[in-house]
Structure 1
Amino acid sequence: MEKVVELSGVQKSFGKVRALKDVSFTVNAGEVVGFIGPNGAGKSTTIRTLLGIIKRDSGNATIFNMDVWKQSLDIHKRISYVPGDVSLWGNLTGGEIIDLFIKLHGNGNKAKRDNLIKRFELDPRKKAKSYSKGNRQKVGLIAALSVESDLYIFDEPTSGLDPLMEAVFQEEVARIKQAGKAILLSSHILSEVERLADKVVIIRNGEIVEIGTLDALRHLTRTTITIETEGDVAVMADLDGVHDFNQTDHHAIFSVDNAFINSILLVATKLGVRRFEAVPPTLEDLFMRHYEG
């Protein structure tokens, strides 16, 4: 796959504070990469480094095989970026601002702009100073999605949007992914990342702690089992890999390390299974694995 974004060993310090420590990951064409971590983990610093807003101390960072600091102007011609809190010119209308952003980018589509304004239910005639946070986000999203870019960088893009508008955004992400574009999505809404991302990058204290597809990362945490049997289900409580076992009569709920699922199934079949459900770990489970405590 064509590498659109590539970071290798990127480090950045602000005084004595090391904001980024050996950050390395890639974003390929036609791929959505979910970039997650709490406030202060280094997400925004990484994104600002990619945008050429701040200069890295060491390591390599390229977009379209161009250096993000030295060739930022050429890179910006081919990317769209939406921050988590869009700042607008208060005395301009939403429509005027969208048109200005499109003109600055130089690769806009008027029909697409009009369709997005309708889908996001934005009144483009109102002045920006009257907009709520959600409507300011809509202006940024409409402008970014109205132009043809090869890379889309979204930093908390749906902040302030209601669930219906989040759904519109997700549909647009699916569309640009299908068109072979690369997307870096930083979000606190883990369900959104789980729904959209092909690959997840988890950052903690400036370091990448996990990276891979959701399926590849699921082995890092436990599957939740719900089972009802004809025989005494209590015998499963002492099996290897079983945790947090709770039983009510012939019904039990417990978690199990994925390496032991096969042995759990072998025992279950001997008990006469009436009901069996296995729920794989969610992205939230993976996230909390690194942050709780």
Structure 2
Amino acid sequence: MSQLIVDDLTKKFGNFTALDSLKMEVDKGEVYGFIGPNGAGKSTTIRILLGMLKPSSGEAKIFGKDAWRDAVEIHKRISYVPGDVNLWPNLTGGEVIDLFAKLGGGADINKRNELIERFDFDPSKKCRTYSKGNRQKVALIAAFCTHSDLYILDEPTSGLDPLMETVFQECVLEVKREGKSVLLSSHILSEVEKLCDRVGIIRQGRLIESGTLQELRHLTRTNLLVETREPAAKLKELEGVYDIRRRGRSLSMQVDAGALEAVMRYLSALGIISLESSPPTLEDLFMRHYENTDRQRSGSEA
């Protein structure tokens, strides 16, 4: 069952089209990664989902309700964490957490106190004294201590150190186990890779690819590091082999998924002394996809 549905969503600012017939769905109990470069349309999409912007056409629905018309009702069941949190300077962190929690329908006090401890956060200080990382902690604690059904997280770990990023990841997996849904917009691709069931890649206001990480692996290359008894003189001539480099006695390369069998057959005939293989990362996928779409565009324009 879809908790969030975006269908043919378009948003124009004058002559500029920020979103162009965007389609996206987030299911119940799913963590959906929403990635793309700056200016791709991620923030515009999130503002429409929060009822802050009205779409030019198309629709955005959360819990079956219209994100613009029913924003007040929807906000009772969602938690939102932006990438840059602004707080009231004269309130303490604890007071702001309690205020946010009340606006979100009330907090689980035990969960609130547990999260304050896990995030190593001092709630007694005035907000004007907090670093960016501590301001993020206020929003994260407030979000995860409320009884929300959907969490919209826009660059939520901005300013957090690696230890706190791990705590955040644990919190996301906990709400997922409870059957809650998460829309995670992040530029930290390793974070998306660890947490997300599906990923949507947005570019120039359009969702250009969507699917599970396994489904999107076809866009990436496997990294190989190999040493052979005989020199691999004809490796450059093989289809689907890229970025060949010598590392001591070994050769490193990237190989398309469809070319792996032929490459391994060739290397085996030379006598493999050592072989290391590492799976493609989401960052590889991301960069490769843009490389491919740029190539296709320049080819169609030629």
TM-score normalised according to structure 1 size: 0.95
Q: Which position in structure 1 is the counterpart of 2:283? A: 284
1:107 alignment partner, SS class: coil
Distance 1:81 1:248, change over 3 A: closer
Q: Distance in 2 between matches of 1:52 and 1:103?
A: 19
Q: Does the Cα contact within 8 Å between 1:232 and 1:250 map onto a contact in 2?
A: no
Q: Structure 1, unaligned stretches of length 5 or more?
A: none
Aligned pairs for 1:5-20 (under 5 A) are 5-20=4-19
Q: What percent identity do the matched residue pairs reach?
A: 56
Q: Which position in structure 2 is the counterpart of 1:37? A: 36
Letter in 1 for 2:43: S
Deviations 1:106-132 (A, max 9, x none): 231000000101111111111111111
1:108 alignment partner, SS class: coil
Q: Distance in 1 between matches of 2:290 and 2:255?
A: 21
- Report the alpha carbon displacement of residue 212 of structure 1 after superposing the two structures with TM: 1.2
User: Do structure 1's residue 141 and structure 2's residue 140 form an aligned pair?
Assistant: yes
- Report the alpha carbon displacement of residue 248 of structure 1 after superposing the two structures with TM: 6.2
Letter in 2 for 1:209: I
Please tell me the root mean square deviation across aligned C-alpha atoms, in Å.
Answer: 1.6
Q: Which position in structure 1 is the counterpart of 2:297? A: none
Q: Which moved more, 1:215-224 or 1:164-173?
A: 215-224
- Report the alpha carbon displacement of residue 23 of structure 1 after superposing the two structures with TM: 0.7
Q: Which position in structure 1 is the counterpart of 2:180? A: 181
Q: Distance in 1 between matches of 2:36 and 2:279?
A: 21
1:233 alignment partner, SS class: coil
Letter in 2 for 1:152: Y
Distance 1:229 1:44, change over 3 A: same
Q: Which position in structure 2 is the counterpart of 1:50? A: 49
- Report the alpha carbon displacement of residue 249 of structure 1 after superposing the two structures with TM: 7.8
Q: Distance in 2 between matches of 1:275 and 1:134?
A: 44
Q: Distance in 2 between matches of 1:284 and 1:269?
A: 29
Deviations 1:42-97 (A, max 9, x none): 11100010111111111121111111111111111111101111111111111011
Aligned pairs for 1:45-124 (under 5 A) are 45-124=44-123
1:165 alignment partner, SS class: helix
Q: Which position in structure 1 is the counterpart of 2:149? A: 150
Q: Structure 2, unaligned stretches of length 5 or more?
A: 295-302
Q: Distance in 1 between matches of 2:87 and 2:249?
A: 61
Q: Does the Cα contact within 8 Å between 1:64 and 1:75 map onto a contact in 2?
A: yes
Q: Distance in 2 between matches of 1:116 and 1:244?
A: 45
Distance 1:129 1:247, change over 3 A: closer
Q: Which moved more, 1:38-47 or 1:259-268?
A: 259-268
Q: Does the Cα contact within 8 Å between 2:33 and 2:184 map onto a contact in 1?
A: yes
- Report the alpha carbon displacement of residue 232 of structure 1 after superposing the two structures with TM: 2.9
Distance 1:250 1:109, change over 3 A: same
TM-score normalised according to structure 2 size: 0.92
Q: Distance in 2 between matches of 1:113 and 1:234?
A: 62
Q: Does the Cα contact within 8 Å between 2:81 and 2:153 map onto a contact in 1?
A: yes
